[in-house]
């Protein structure tokens, strides 16, 4: 597999991010939520002591960004796992069994796609009250439809292949064919979709934060730090730099990695928008 320079840089970036953010746990004295409740000044500009400055509570922004990385990446990874899990199941069942099962499931996918996603996310989020877990669940529950369609069309084309018909001819059970032969072949494009999905999930968390429904303080996530920095844009513009850079770099990195994988798999973006 040929990995581009940008892809390599991105992989390096994520490894560094993981090491730093989890390495931080070894130093309990570096508490990113700590501040002096009896004296809170103004945000401080970047200095040697605070490379990216401090926020409105006097907390070090870099430290918060690194610990926020754990939450933001957690949101990205777990919500994508949920959406991939749902999407793969729906797609597999729908494509494999066909008939009315397929019809019902695909109609459901159409319906979910037909409800404007922002309204869907907002209403569910309002219903569940914002916490890290709910942010993850909401993003996961509202983003599985694309994967489902992709897997379904993958399965449909697979069913026609010779080795699948052969497997049936040899008397293999449905589930064996499904899991041993079909599933593995659909996984690679799913992984590519997951990479890109993680990027969107990280962005989705920041938009939820902008609407006030993201990860709640005092926990730091890149999204809520970025949102908080907006109102300080005039007086303390440095507050926006670190979370802004990290969100952009992560989404960018995930896209580069996804792009390389896609080139490797020669998978094209699939369009199956027809209802």
Place of tokens 């797609």: 91
Q: Among 73, 79, 78, 90, which residue's Cα sits nearest to residue 141?
A: 79
Whole-angstrom Cα distance, residue 128 to residue 112?
19
- Shortest Å, Cβ 229 to another protein: 9
Whole-angstrom Cα distance, residue 153 to residue 151?
6
* Interface size with another protein, residues (CB under 8 A): 69
For the chain, what is the total number of helices (H) and then of strands (E)? 11, 0
54 φ, ψ (degrees, to nearest 5): -125, 160
Q: Among 114, 117, 119, which residue's Cα sits nearest to residue 83?
A: 117
Site string for another protein, 207-236 (x = CB under 8 A): x--xxxx--xxx----x--xx--xxxxxx-
Site string for another protein, 8-27 (x = CB under 8 A): --------------------
Report the residue from 113, 137, 188, 191 that binds another protein according to the rule CB under 8 A.
Answer: 113
Q: Among 199, 193, 191, 190, which residue's Cα sits nearest to residue 73?
A: 199
Q: What is the DSSP letter of 214?
A: S
Report the residue from 40, 133, 166, 265 that binds another protein according to the rule CB under 8 A.
Answer: 40
Report the residue from 3, 11, 86, 122 that binds another protein according to the rule CB under 8 A.
Answer: 122
Stretch binding another protein (CB under 8 A), from 20-28, 90-98, 152-160, 202-210: 202-210
Whole-angstrom Cα distance, residue 154 to residue 91?
9
Q: Does 134 bind another protein (CB under 8 A)?
A: no
Stretch binding another protein (CB under 8 A), from 22-30, 63-71, 181-189, 251-259: 251-259
Report the residue from 13, 14, 57, 89 that binds another protein according to the rule CB under 8 A.
Answer: 57
Whole-angstrom Cα distance, residue 43 to residue 67?
19
By the criterion CB under 8 A, which residues form the site for another protein? 6, 33-35, 37-40, 42, 56-57, 107-108, 110-120, 122-124, 126-127, 129-131, 199, 203, 206-207, 210-213, 216-218, 223, 226-227, 230-235, 240, 244, 247-252, 255-256, 259, 268-269, 271, 273-275
């Amino acid at each position: 597999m040929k990995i581009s320079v940008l892809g390599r840089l991105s992989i390096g970036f994520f490894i560094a991010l993981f090491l730093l953010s989890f390495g931080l746990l070894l130093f309990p004295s570096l508490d990113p939520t700590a501040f002096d409740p009896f004296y809170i000044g103004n945000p401080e500009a970047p200095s040697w002591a605070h490379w990216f400055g401090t926020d409105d509570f006097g907390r070090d922004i870099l430290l918060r960004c690194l610990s926020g990385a754990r939450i933001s990446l957690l949101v990205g990874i777990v919500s994508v796992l949920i959406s991939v899990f749902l999407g793969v199941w729906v797609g597999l069942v729908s494509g494999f069994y066909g008939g009315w099962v397929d019809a019902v499931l695909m109609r459901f996918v159409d319906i979910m796609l037909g409800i404007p996603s922002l309204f869907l996310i907002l209403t569910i989020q309002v219903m569940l009250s914002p916490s890290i877990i709910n942010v993850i669940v909401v993003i996961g529950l509202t983003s599985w439809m694309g994967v489902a369609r992709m897997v379904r069309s993958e399965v449909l084309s697979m069913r026609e292949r010779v080795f699948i018909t052969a497997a049936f001819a040899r008397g293999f059970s449905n589930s064996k064919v499904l899991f041993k032969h079909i599933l593995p072949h659909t996984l690679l494009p799913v992984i590519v979709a997951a990479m890109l999905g993680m990027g969107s999930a990280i962005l989705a968390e920041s938009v939820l934060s902008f609407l006030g429904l993201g990860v709640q303080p005092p926990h730091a996530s890149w999204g809520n730090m970025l949102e908080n920095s907006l109102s300080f844009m005039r007086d303390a513009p440095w507050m926006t730099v670190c979370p802004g850079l990290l969100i952009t770099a992560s989404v960018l990195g995930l896209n580069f990695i996804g792009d390389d994988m896609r080139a490797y798999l020669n998978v094209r973006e699939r369009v199956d928008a027809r209802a």
